Structure 1
Amino acid sequence: MPISAPPSPRRATVRTDPVVRPARAEVPPAAVPFRFRPVDREVLWLYLLTRVAVWTTAYCTRRLFPASGDARVPEPVLAPFEHWDWGHFLNIARDGYFPGGPGEGDNREAFFPGFPLVLRAVHVLVPHWTVAGLLVSLVAGAVAAVALARIAELHLPGSRAGGRAALFLLVSPCAVFLAAGYSESLFLALALPAWLAARRQRWLLASVLAASATTVRVSGLFLAAALVVLFLTTRRDGGAGRKRAAAWLVLPGLPALLHFWYLYGRTGDPLAWKHAQERGWYRHFRAPWEAWSQTWHEAFDHVQATGYAAQFQADLVAMVLGVLLLAVLVVRRRWPEAVYIALTLWALGTSYWYMSVARSSLLWWPLWVGLAVWSVRRRWVTLAYLCLVAPLSTVLAVTFMTGRWAG
């Protein structure tokens, strides 16, 4: 049998009082705006998986739906992402707005300079233009997904609303534009952290981020208006601090003014941006009911090819959803978000016809947050949403990747 070790002799024990250390104050996650958390890693894993899904769709598309029906060799790997607005962004980043003087004819001045400037900067390190554009959207989309999740958590702390909001955005019908070399991802990567900072009363940071978002899209001005309303409805302290915070809120409007001033200096037209929108995309001002009527005509009266008609139909549906979202925000007295959505709908709903309304829904963060909160309270919402949008997202991705109009 084994021999056990002899017991060790007892030692006299000396009782000592425990060392009392000052308690560390626990800082809630919301108090540290940009600290990386385990929840953020989950969102990023979700983001990477959806990027794999997009690239899988692109791979299959270029092989199954080539431009030439009897092609023996598939199109280049990056070809599915080199369509429509990408050409405008590329031209601006590579050649500027007026490489041959005013009157180029492609109406590139209708696009704000933020995305082309970032694209050109990344191109210094990444020689291939398309790869550079995809890289900008890849990184910006990751930032946007995490920021959206954090905004949703402010509405239901401790729940899974954050991950749901990111999921709903990343698989939404027009989500392919978040992966392409378009400006939506970069705008969201600046606008959502700006909103998050404003919700935490960090007005200087919010204003700087919102100003950066305005360099990317005119929607930054709508975000600036929402920030002003949020400031007026939430900030309580007075004195010099309030005046300084209010002064910072002027910043988001400056990039748009500088862009308009630059275009005026080159063209002599103070409304050069608006006129480019009108020439290229028929964004003449019309009453909302007239715009709705014209879009309905294009969608259902067989005057357009079926692909274009389908996109007009999608824009009609998106406008209805936007109006319903606005109504919900007003009823719930979410005035800042309501201002942002109202200005967006007004800009999109008062032109000759609806265009890119469905794609613009990517920028409606109150929609994704509201759906996420609803899904936490009603479990069936997530399943119903995924079953509805998964085929639409795939079809629109294939439509865009084959060079057809997709929003």
Structure 2
Amino acid sequence: MSPIEQDAPDAQEVRGVRDGAPAAPGPAALPDPALPRPGLPGPGLPGLGLPGPGPGARPRRPRILRLDAADRDVLTLYLFTRVALLLTAYCAAWLFPPDSEAHRPEPFASVVGRWDWNHFLHIARDGYFPDDPAARPDEWDNREAFFPGFPLALRALHLLVGDWTAAGLLISLVAGAVAVLALGRIARLHLSGAAGARRAVLLLLVSPCAVFLAVGYSESLFLAFALPAWLAARHHEWRLAALLAVCATTVRVTGLFLVAALVVHFALTARRHGMLRRLPWLALPALPPLLYSWYLHAHTGDWMAWKHAQERGWYRRFHSPWDSWSTTWQAAFGHGYTTPYALVWQAELVAMVVGLVTTVLLVRARRRPEAVYIALSLWALGTSYWYMSIPRATLLWWPLWIGLASWTLRGPRRLAAWLCLSAPLSAVLAVTYFSGRWAG
């Protein structure tokens, strides 16, 4: 594993999205596609069926603490899916014990705490460079590959909670709630009414890798900063966006891709709104990676120790994109690996195709900032020896879930088709994780 890594709307709402969405204007009508001007329809995402804000729409200042009915619906849906995952974990513990002759299930902490969680736990408990060698006995530990944001939050919350596993789950629970609220509000900038927000959140929460939003991994915490940062940027709250992006880059290196998207969005919109003086704020998110590199250099003499740890542990040395695709294809279909590993690489290939198609549609729709964000993610994950953790990365691609939400809102059959594809995969992957059979 790598770190670099509903209610259905009523018929009237669906018809409003399908028939009432304005067409995207041409370049001459809208010089700046990133934000609609008064009296002009937004550019939307026509390739994904995602309309932009309607005529005359102006971005409203974000309501940070006030929850409306749509927000409460999103949180209710989020809590229902958390209960579903808890039930899945309970059943997996009883059905798939490590010992087939066991009469008791694994401890709950073992069921939910696997793979990357152990890296975060060791960092939070012992630090990156513990004085006691016994605290880091494995020469392949490579914990430097993991950015310090999640371990710092884990260590801080552990002082209050007292149990490491409970602290990790609580971080993901709260951070996930913040993330889905922000996703719903971003979706409402593009889609009609609260149905669009519920739909985008639903599709994220039943996506194949959704289990990683519930366990002690860094995806939920990253989204809790990244999505509000993007929402703030859409409302031209650049200082707030920059400060939230600082937190995002502390959690994952993917935060730098978010910063690139923010810079592109700033370049497309700031001159019109007279906000060029805000530009220096967007340099702040580079500070956490620089400080982390400095910290690692002080202990190892290597400014890129986090990158080299990824290379040692997860084969993330640079290879051309076509070589990476070829190697992953051979691993998936060359019958050289056991079937669980081969299936994981098949999923990697599918996720890469989904990412490429999404990026192309975003470019065609002139959603340049979002296209940059996903393209940089694909470049980072698609130029290693082979693909790894791309399905998990889809959790961080908010334009994908908003675009799919718009597509499914065009007819109930589309939603049924997507759920019949995604929900079983989500359940299978959750059981695979909780039973300790996750291969990639």
Determine which of 80, 83, 90 is the counterpart of 1:59: 90
Deviating 4+ runs (over 3 angstroms): 100-104, 236-239
Give the equivalent residue in structure 2 for 1:120.
155
Q: Give the number of the structure with larger relative contact order, counting CA–CA contacts within 8 Å between residues 6 or more apart.
A: 2
Aligned to 1:31, what secondary structure does the other structure show? coil
Gap change, CA 1:238 and 1:368, over 3 Å in 2: closer
Which letter maps to 2:374? Answer: I
Which letter maps to 2:85? Answer: V
Give the equivalent residue in structure 2 for 1:171.
206
Give the equivalent residue in structure 2 for 1:272.
305
Give the equivalent residue in structure 2 for 1:355.
388
Identity %: 63
Residue ranges of structure 2 left out of the alignment (5+ in a row): 1-57
Give the equivalent residue in structure 2 for 1:373.
406
Determine which of 321, 340, 352 is the counterpart of 1:319: 352
Give the equivalent residue in structure 2 for 1:14.
none
Give the TM-score taking structure 1 as reference length.
Answer: 0.90
Determine which of 95, 107, 128 is the counterpart of 1:76: 107
Which letter maps to 2:247? Answer: S
Give the equivalent residue in structure 1 for 2:276.
242
Kindly indicate whether the alpha-carbon contact (under 8 Å) linking 1:207 and 1:249 is maintained by their aligned counterparts in 2.
yes
Instruction: Measure how far apart 1:167 and its partner are.
Output: 0.3
Kindly indicate whether the alpha-carbon contact (under 8 Å) linking 2:176 and 2:224 is maintained by their aligned counterparts in 1.
yes
Which letter maps to 1:348? Answer: L
Cα distance in 2 between the residues matched to 1:397 and 1:238:
46
Cα distance in 2 between the residues matched to 1:32 and 1:260:
34
> CA offsets per residue over residues 296-354 of structure 1, 9 Å max, x none?
11111111111111111100000000000001001101000000001000000000000
Kindly indicate whether the alpha-carbon contact (under 8 Å) linking 2:78 and 2:177 is maintained by their aligned counterparts in 1.
yes
Cα distance in 2 between the residues matched to 1:378 and 1:187:
32
Give the equivalent residue in structure 2 for 1:200.
235
Give the equivalent residue in structure 2 for 1:32.
62
Aligned to 1:283, what secondary structure does the other structure show? coil
| 1:183 equivalenced with 2:210 (yes/no) | no
Cα distance in 2 between the residues matched to 1:288 and 1:398:
32
Cα distance in 2 between the residues matched to 1:129 and 1:30:
40
Cα distance in 2 between the residues matched to 1:406 and 1:140:
26
| 1:154 equivalenced with 2:189 (yes/no) | yes
Q: How does 1:250-269 map to 2 (within 5 A)?
A: 250-269=283-302
Which letter maps to 1:282? Answer: Y
Alignment RMSD: 1.7
Cα distance in 2 between the residues matched to 1:252 and 1:72:
51
Cα distance in 1 between the residues matched to 2:419 and 2:410:
16
Which letter maps to 1:334? Answer: R
Instruction: Measure how far apart 1:29 and its partner are.
Output: 9.4
> CA offsets per residue over residues 230-286 of structure 1, 9 Å max, x none?
0011223476x422x101010111111111111111100122111100000000100
Which letter maps to 1:82? Answer: G
Aligned to 1:78, what secondary structure does the other structure show? helix
Cα distance in 2 between the residues matched to 1:401 and 1:254:
36
Gap change, CA 1:238 and 1:62, over 3 Å in 2: closer
Instruction: Measure how far apart 1:157 and its partner are.
Output: 4.0
Aligned to 1:173, what secondary structure does the other structure show? coil
Give the TM-score taking structure 2 as reference length.
Answer: 0.84
Give the equivalent residue in structure 2 for 1:139.
174
Give the equivalent residue in structure 2 for 1:97.
128
Give the equivalent residue in structure 1 for 2:118.
87
Which letter maps to 1:231? Answer: F
Instruction: Measure how far apart 1:126 and its partner are.
Output: 0.7
Cα distance in 2 between the residues matched to 1:333 and 1:114:
33
Which letter maps to 2:209? Answer: C
Kindly indicate whether the alpha-carbon contact (under 8 Å) linking 2:188 and 2:197 is maintained by their aligned counterparts in 1.
yes
Give the equivalent residue in structure 2 for 1:293.
326
Cα distance in 2 between the residues matched to 1:346 and 1:237:
31
Kindly indicate whether the alpha-carbon contact (under 8 Å) linking 2:207 and 2:426 is maintained by their aligned counterparts in 1.
yes
Instruction: Measure how far apart 1:382 and its partner are.
Output: 1.4
Which letter maps to 2:102? Answer: A
Cα distance in 2 between the residues matched to 1:374 and 1:389:
15
Which letter maps to 1:299? Answer: A
Gap change, CA 1:29 and 1:160, over 3 Å in 2: farther
Instruction: Measure how far apart 1:45 and its partner are.
Output: 0.5
Kindly indicate whether the alpha-carbon contact (under 8 Å) linking 1:159 and 1:376 is maintained by their aligned counterparts in 2.
no
Instruction: Measure how far apart 1:156 and its partner are.
Output: 1.9
User: After the TM superposition, which of the residue ranges 263-272 and 98-107 deviates more from structure 2?
Assistant: 98-107
Gap change, CA 1:343 and 1:101, over 3 Å in 2: farther
Which letter maps to 2:213? Answer: L
